[in-house]
Chains A and B, each alone.
Chain A
């Protein structure tokens, strides 16, 4: 398999004696997101910067496509490696368009072509092109971060280095940026090295996660799923947190859960049909199998059809083919009936599932 970035026994000792990286060996695969995660001061930023030569290792080598980064001139190397940082670091004296056009201009593109590329990228990262003539101080933190990403992508570098790019924005904007980042990556397939101190972000974004410990030691490199299932040592299990069991459920597809349909009734069904199920709750669906709401057996009148009743809101549903068991668990906990409603991609009810099915599936994985 072709690997793009290789750390080969990399050690970095700063002049004051601080060991920031301690014999780190690691491969960041082509087209994947490798997340560096760990405690503050663990050497993540240092490791990232050895890739574009902003930091040079004391010993060991960093290779891109098998060739040492020390073989290229720093400025030339860097123009082929996108870089995004936490505070965006936009040039305050340049408009948004000119900020994004920075690397293309350094590469000698003419102004018109560079600007056209900027506008293209603004759309790509979800920015209104009308913002192009504004200056950075006129943008919100989240918008500035988008510009930072667009600027790093401008010359279409195969590698992107991202140092806590979403850490300084509020949680709602962060979730939005993370989602769009994943969507972008699914189109662009860059080789991305992403630094964060937030294990949730690492699990959400990483194809593979490298855990750094204070002192610059690389403790474990694994897929998010394996990291949660088999943490290498106490440090990693402590870092991934007590609720790693629940986090793991994010990787179990909801499709693995058995679904029941005995409590799913059309709205035309009679009260007697509902009682005949012998279940405490039944779910009424319309002609296209969309969920209408829950009816409780205890509260059923003596006669009539489900359609005439006041039903309890069906609440959150899950998509059988797309969601994870973690989403189902959440839906089960919040559902008045203790049952989560599984729907297909069109929103039609496929079946329901509850505590017992969840418990069986979790035990089996």
Chain B
């Protein structure tokens, strides 16, 4: 560190505010799209796993095996198909990662429906599909959102790794700050990532409370 250089140069932050906001926006986009895609895949997969019990073990194992592959390796694996700078090179692997959290949570969520509740639904004349849409999925929501929160935070932290293949949102601050030996950039990168994670989580908690006022958990003060 050069003499007299402060750890954080506030003036740099001030003069780069627009640039930083743009990076944060892009970072958020790159981390949230995989969660959305992950949900789109996990919900039907989770439903299949509860309808046919034998489907669940192979699906869960596959999701976990995918999750155990280091992220950088998985990104590199996709480059030949999706291209070096394409968003898809990042989005597809991150989507696959979310499955190891989302599929089990969808399954657990659907299992929250107690036997008396599903018997009552059947006895009252719900058809299969209607029971799924109006009883089982709504009851699964709190547990599914709990999974979405974990997937979102982990996705936000993983996007930075994408900078190593040239596309990583706030990750650019880490590579650039390191090359220029400019700690302000690294620290700002860390701080913004943490702020994004907290903000996204807070939004999801709020969404859950609005969506499931009937859930006992998380509303002890009410």
- How far, in angstroms, from A100 to B153 measured CA to CA in the complex? 40
Say which residue of B114, B117, B124, B212 sits within 8 Å of A83 (CB atoms).
B124
Would you call the interface of chain A mostly helix, strand, loop, or mixed?
mixed
Say which residue of B124, B130, B141, B214 sits within 8 Å of A103 (CB atoms).
B124
Whether B125 sits at the interface, judged by CB under 8 Å, is: yes
Q: How many A-B residue pairs have CB under 8 A?
A: 68
Closest chain B residue to A85, Cβ basis = B116
Whole-angstrom distance between the Cβ of A269 and the nearest chain B Cβ? 63
**A93 engages B122 (CB within 8 Å):** no
Of the candidate stretches A16-24, A72-80, A279-287, the one touching chain B is A72-80
Residue of A88, A89, A102, A135 ringed by the most chain B CB atoms within 10 A: A89
**B213 engages A89 (CB within 8 Å):** no
Whether A229 sits at the interface, judged by CB under 8 Å, is: no
Q: Which residues of A (81-115) have their CB < 8 Å from a CB of B?
A: 81, 83, 85-95, 102-103, 106
Closest chain A residue to B216, Cβ basis = A137
**Hey, which chain A residues are within 8 Å of B15, CB to CB?**
none
Say which residue of B117, B124, B139, B212 sits within 8 Å of A79 (CB atoms).
B124
**B124 engages A106 (CB within 8 Å):** yes
Whether A196 sits at the interface, judged by CB under 8 Å, is: no
**B126 engages A106 (CB within 8 Å):** yes
Whether B127 sits at the interface, judged by CB under 8 Å, is: yes
**A92 engages B139 (CB within 8 Å):** yes
Whether B177 sits at the interface, judged by CB under 8 Å, is: no
**Hey, which chain A residues are within 8 Å of B124, CB to CB?**
78-79, 83, 102-103, 106, 151
**B122 engages A54 (CB within 8 Å):** yes
Question: How many residues on chain B are close to A (CB under 8 Å)?
Answer: 21
- How far, in angstroms, from A92 to B122 measured CA to CA in the complex? 16
- How far, in angstroms, from A83 to B114 measured CA to CA in the complex? 17
**A88-B116, A89-B119, A93-B139 known; A135+B213 contact, CB < 8 A:** yes
**Hey, which chain B residues are within 8 Å of A102, CB to CB?**
124
Proximity string of chain B (134-150) to chain A, C-beta cutoff 8 Å, 1 when within and 0 when not: 01001101000000000
Say which residue of A54, A78, A79, A137 sits within 8 Å of B214 (CB atoms).
A137
**A75-B127, A135-B214, A137-B216 known; A90+B117 contact, CB < 8 A:** yes
Q: Which residues of B (100-158) have their CB < 8 Å from a CB of A?
A: 114, 116-117, 119-127, 130, 135, 138-139, 141
Whether A143 sits at the interface, judged by CB under 8 Å, is: no
- How far, in angstroms, from A54 to B117 measured CA to CA in the complex? 14
Interface size grouping (class) on chain A: 20 to 34
**Hey, which chain A residues are within 8 Å of B114, CB to CB?**
87, 89
**B123 engages A83 (CB within 8 Å):** yes
Closest chain B residue to A49, Cβ basis = B123
Whether A52 sits at the interface, judged by CB under 8 Å, is: yes
**A92-B214, A94-B214, A137-B214 known; A52+B117 contact, CB < 8 A:** no
- How far, in angstroms, from A35 to B116 measured CA to CA in the complex? 21
Proximity string of chain B (12-50) to chain A, C-beta cutoff 8 Å, 1 when within and 0 when not: 000000000000000000000000000000000000000
- How far, in angstroms, from A92 to B216 measured CA to CA in the complex? 10
**Hey, which chain A residues are within 8 Å of B216, CB to CB?**
137
**A78 engages B117 (CB within 8 Å):** no
- How far, in angstroms, from A263 to B173 measured CA to CA in the complex? 105
Closest chain B residue to A81, Cβ basis = B123
Closest chain B residue to A92, Cβ basis = B214
Say which residue of B116, B119, B123, B212 sits within 8 Å of A93 (CB atoms).
B212
**A75-B127, A106-B125 known; A89+B214 contact, CB < 8 A:** no
- How far, in angstroms, from A352 to B117 measured CA to CA in the complex? 53
Closest chain A residue to B112, Cβ basis = A92
Whole-angstrom distance between the Cβ of A86 and the nearest chain B Cβ? 8
**B139 engages A89 (CB within 8 Å):** no
- How far, in angstroms, from A87 to B213 measured CA to CA in the complex? 22
**Hey, which chain A residues are within 8 Å of B120, CB to CB?**
83, 85, 88-91, 148
**Hey, which chain A residues are within 8 Å of B130, CB to CB?**
106
- How far, in angstroms, from A81 to B122 measured CA to CA in the complex? 12
- How far, in angstroms, from A151 to B124 measured CA to CA in the complex? 9
Whole-angstrom distance between the Cβ of B5 and the nearest chain A Cβ? 57
**A93-B212, A137-B216 known; A85+B119 contact, CB < 8 A:** yes
**Hey, which chain B residues are within 8 Å of A75, CB to CB?**
125-127
Residue of A81, A83, A91 ringed by the most chain B CB atoms within 10 A: A91
- How far, in angstroms, from A94 to B113 measured CA to CA in the complex? 13
**Hey, which chain B residues are within 8 Å of A93, CB to CB?**
135, 138-139, 141, 212, 214
**A52 engages B123 (CB within 8 Å):** yes
**B117 engages A91 (CB within 8 Å):** yes
**B125 engages A92 (CB within 8 Å):** no
**A92 engages B213 (CB within 8 Å):** no
- How far, in angstroms, from A83 to B213 measured CA to CA in the complex? 27
Q: Which residues of A (250-269) have their CB < 8 Å from a CB of B?
A: none
**Hey, which chain A residues are within 8 Å of B125, CB to CB?**
74-79, 103, 106
**7 extra interface residue pairs, beta carbon distance < 8 Å, beyond A79-B124, A83-B123, A137-B214:** A54-B123, A85-B119, A85-B123, A92-B117, A94-B214, A106-B124, A137-B216
- Between A and B, 23 residue pairs with Cβ closer than 8 Å are A54-B119, A74-B125, A75-B125, A75-B126, A75-B127, A77-B125, A78-B122, A78-B124, A79-B125, A83-B124, A88-B116, A89-B119, A89-B120, A89-B121, A92-B139, A92-B214, A93-B212, A93-B214, A95-B214, A103-B125, A135-B213, A137-B214, A161-B123
Q: Which 3 A-B pairs have the closest CB atoms?
A: A89-B120, A89-B116, A83-B123
